[in-house]
Structure 1
Amino acid sequence: MAEATLLISSKNYSSWSLRGFLLAKLSGISFAEERVSPDDPRAREELLMRTSSILVPCLIHGEVSVWDTIAIAEYLNEAFPEARMLPEEKVARARCRSISGEMHSGFAALRSSLPMNLRFRKPGFTVWSSAQADIDRITSIWRECLNTWKGPFLFGRLPTIADCMYAPVVTRFLSYDVNVGPLCQEYCDTILSWSPMKEWIADAKEEPQEIIELDLDF
């Protein structure tokens, strides 16, 4: 029997649900997924990026309900310290929290211009300058981490909360044919070959196309 339940929305479109799923997998908690209907206002607001207060994903663990991916990350890190979801070394741990928070609260141009869609491929996609600035900042973060902590994940040999937070960006770069350079491409390949990520993507490809009416700007 699962210890917890994770409420998610679309596996194809929902970057926040993906983050929650990866965080739960990273913690080692046994959980069951429960999908919120695409007609549910919480799911639609999240997928349309019209709200800053996102209630999906939500982790239900006993009497505790935790939503918002940063809150889920911190809760799971406290509940399962043996999972080492944050780096052990102090400087790396502080940097991990900082870049995770930056991903959580920033990069609005990237989110709106390159929404997550795992079925979508657009070779030669033209990236607007505002989104390119976000891409440049993200790849700068990645290069600094990979050069400092030597990969293959952002903080070394093992994945951390930061990798969960940036994983949806990897899918965006793939969908919209974004050239990120050799080092960052190696990181993208690492994320895409990560077992929980492969599981999510496989499920997304089997997901019914129930949300085709979403007014996303491509």
Structure 2
Amino acid sequence: MTDLTLYIANKNYSSWSLRAWMAMKAARVAFDEQQILLDVPAGNPGFKAISPSGQLPVLVHGDIKIWESLAIIEYIAELFPEAALWPKPAADRAVARAISLEMASGFRALRNACPMNFRRTPSVLAVNENVLADVKRIETIWREQIARSGGPFLFGAFSAADAMFAPVVNRFSVYQLTQNADSLAYMERIQALPAWVEWRDAALAEPWIVTEDEV
């Protein structure tokens, strides 16, 4: 047992859970994992029992509860500064937080049209111009940040910003939203990470089915 417990939802579908979980794995933080399954028709009562917002993930640390993926990541970064979840240079940290917040609050068209789903057989999805605009903006972020840092990740080493964009890697892959060589190379690097492989394998093994209308 550890004094940190991360409550997550179904690994196949829960993009917000993946973000916090990958960041904690990248920081090599020891934590207990508790899974509460999606029950959309019933209003996710299991979520509401643990989460002030009624959403997951939630990190519990003693008497403290932290909800929202980015807040969890910030809390872990402060608890474990040696993990360097955010880039060290102040300018890079500011940009990393800016694009992470953009990911947290934006790209609604992509989210709505293309839910995260590790079990989906990769195939082209016809999408509207708003989704294509989201894809273009995300690829611009990836391209510019990797060009500035030299890669292999957005700010050189894997960071909180990469964790925030991790669910997009699944979306781009299973809905085949890009053929850009630079984007595909970045996606391959994310997908090769041990944390990604661990999450993916667990997601593929889950027996529970939730329709895209419910996610």
- Please report how far the alpha carbon of residue 27 of structure 1 lies from its aligned counterpart in structure 2 after TM superposition: 2.5
Q: CA deviation at 1:147?
A: 0.5
- Are 1:41 and 2:43 matched, yes or no? yes
Work out whether 1:155 is the aligned partner of 2:155: yes
Post-superposition Cα deviations, 1:62-110, rounded to whole Å, max 9, x if no partner, equal 2211010111011111110000000011111111000000000000000
Q: Unpaired segments of 5 or more residues in structure 2?
A: none
Moved more, 117-126 or 102-111: 117-126
1:36 positional shift: 1.1
Determine if contact 2:8/2:57 at 8 Å carries over to the other structure.
yes
Q: What percentage of residue pairs aligned between the two structures are identical?
A: 40
| 3-state SS in 2 of match to 1:60 | strand
Count of aligned residue pairs for this structure pair: 209
Amino acid at match of 1:138: I
State the superposition RMSD in angstroms. 2.0
> Residue deviations 1:5-57, cap 9 Å, x none?
110111001100111111221222211111113226348999xxxxxx56300
**C-alpha contact 1:3 1:29 (8 A) present in aligned 2:** no
Deviation of residue 185 (structure 1)?
Answer: 1.0
> In 1, are the aligned partners of 2:8 and 2:56 still within 8 Å (CA)?
yes
Partner in structure 2 of residue 166 of structure 1: 165
1:203 aligns with 2:193: no
Q: Distance in 1 between matches of 2:109 and 2:203?
A: 24
Distance 1:43 1:147 in 2: 45
> Secondary structure at the residue paired with 1:178?
coil
Moved more, 54-63 or 130-139: 54-63
Runs of 4+ in 1 over 3 A off after TM superposition: 42-46, 211-214
* SS class of match (1:2): coil
TM-score (norm 1): 0.89
In the superposition, the TM-score normalised over structure 2's length comes to 0.91
CA distance in structure 1 between the aligned counterparts of 2:210 and 2:185, rounded to whole angstroms: 32
Tell me the amino acid that sits aligned with residue 65 of structure 1.
Answer: K
Q: Classify the secondary structure of the residue corresponding to 2:10.
A: coil
Residue 99 of structure 1 corresponds to which residue in structure 2? 99
Amino acid at match of 2:213: D
Q: Secondary structure at the match of 2:5?
A: strand
Partner of 1:49: none
